[in-house]
Structure 1
Amino acid sequence: MTRSAVLDEVARRLSERDAGHPLRIGIDGVCGVGKSTFAEELVSRIGSHGRPAILLDSDGFHHVRAIRYRRGRDSARGYYEDAYDFGALREFALEPLGPEGSRRYAVRVHDLATDEIVREFATAPADAVVVFAATFLQRGDLRELWDEVVYLDAAIERAERRGIRRDAVQLGGADVAARAYASRYMAACRIYLDEEDPRSRASIVVDHDDPMRPRLVDRRD
């Protein structure tokens, strides 16, 4: 299948799902696998299937720097446990969007650029599909709050190479980015894979080794 066909099929499956409340979709996978781009394209496709679609940006759900780096900037465990404010995601977004919820959800709780705590809210239509892309989103009891999880699966070495290319400028060059991935980012993903086995828990798995030629995976594979 082409990338367009895979996106259309995933969008069709999600658009046909009626949960009785806004559908909460997590796009999961290791760093560099292509979650954000997939989520953006998926939201566009869901809209074309006649459902209101909302992209919830994970950048708005980080902890402040003092928490993110309290174990040190090279800490894999620190990135795994302290990067995202999943407590706020649960309280201000996933639970209000779930059964018996108010549908009034937080668009963001943190400004990554200024490091300020913010509270910005909106109200989702009852039939909305809300898409959130981030690593670690099936960690612990958070996974019970997703109505569907799409896991983008790729060889960790390929995802790492893509992530390094993507983040090289921001992190200060390819060599610096490679060290950061080895010690912090991909090291944290390995913890996640070992502790949570997120691929096996996801409801939809997409082989994303080659983002231009993804493949829907039969769960018997």
Structure 2
Amino acid sequence: MRLEAITWDRLVDLLAERLLDLDTSDGGPWPRVALDGAPAARPGDLAERVAEALRVRGRPSLVVGTAGFLRPASVRLEYGHQDLESYYSGWYDTGALWREVFDPLSPGGSGRVLPDLWDPVTDRATRSAYAELPPGGVLLLHGPLLLHHWFPFDLTVHVLLSPGALRRRTPEPEHWTLPAFERYEQETDPAGTADVLVRADDPRHPAWRG
């Protein structure tokens, strides 16, 4: 795996410039981008920085995190608080993501996106207002395990941590999730299949392939 050293600022600029000219796979007016990575890799931080870089270039975007589409605790934790199969396949409401995020951004869609649905802290609906993404606006969806779903992304970015870095940067109470990411690597190969790969073992000195 050949990667080049880069700074975060340069990486964000390159991604933003690429998104300005990104064609959608279905001919729709809204490019859809995945920023995939374990929580410890902080893909949401990268999404926010890319959104800001797009803003200063005059391109609207909407940052959506899959954490806002967790299933209710009664469903998510049906088989216990540390059930790996549930975490891998059933914690996130993919049906709601299709209905509230991807369908409105499909050709002929309204562009009216619900940015989040469920608050895992209160275990209640967020009741957030819909956001209007104008034609040409970019969806930046961030979260873990994104690439083993059949979401219609036009660009995929995977933020990679080595197993050692992932363990070090994951809080100990969440170490039970680590086998899910090992399985993800084996079954989905996000490092090999993503359009852009960012290695962030040392958060001060990333490297990339894109």
User: Would you say same fold, with TM above 0.5?
Assistant: yes
The alignment-based identity, stated in percent, is: 27
Deviation at 1:87, TM superposition (A): 1.3
Structure 1 counterpart of 2:142: 133
2:95 is aligned with what amino acid? G
Q: Cα offset for 1:55?
A: 1.1
The one-letter code matched in structure 2 to 1:113 is V
1:5 is aligned to 2:10? yes
SS in 1 for 2:113: strand
| Residue 118 (structure 1) shift | 4.7
**Residues 46-195 of structure 1 mapped to structure 2, 5 A cutoff:** 46-118=54-126, 120=128, 121-142=130-151, 145-164=152-171, 174=172, 177=173, 180-181=174-175, 183=176, 185-195=177-187
What is the CA-CA distance between 1:57 and the residue it aligns to? 2.7
Contact 1:31 1:189 in 2 (8 A): no
Does the alignment pair 1:26 with 2:39?
A: no
Query: Match for 1:193: what amino acid?
Result: E
**CA apart distance, 1:126:** 0.6
- The structure richer in helix per residue is 1
Matched, 1:44 2:52: yes
2:3 equivalent in structure 1: none
The two structures have a TM-score, normalised by structure 2, of 0.88
Which residue identity is paired with 1:79?
Y
Preserved contact between residue 30 and residue 156 of structure 1 (Cα < 8 Å): no
Q: Which residue of 1 aligns with 2:20?
A: 15
Whole-Å separation in 2 of the counterparts to 1:202 and 1:95: 22
For residues 54 and 205 of structure 2, what CA distance do their matches in structure 1 show?
20
Of the three residues 193, 198, 217, the one matched with 2:190 is 198
Q: Secondary structure at the match of 1:32?
A: helix
**In the alignment, what sits opposite 1:217?**
209
Structure 1: give runs of 5+ residues left out of the alignment: 165-173
Q: For each residue in 1:44-96, what CA deviation from the matched residue of structure 2 results, as whole angstroms up to 9, or x when unmatched? A: 11212221121113221110001111121111111111211111101210121
Segments of structure 2 that go 5 or more residues without pairing to the other structure are: 1-5
Tell me, in whole angstroms, the C-alpha distance in 2 between the residues paired with 1:160 and 1:38: 20
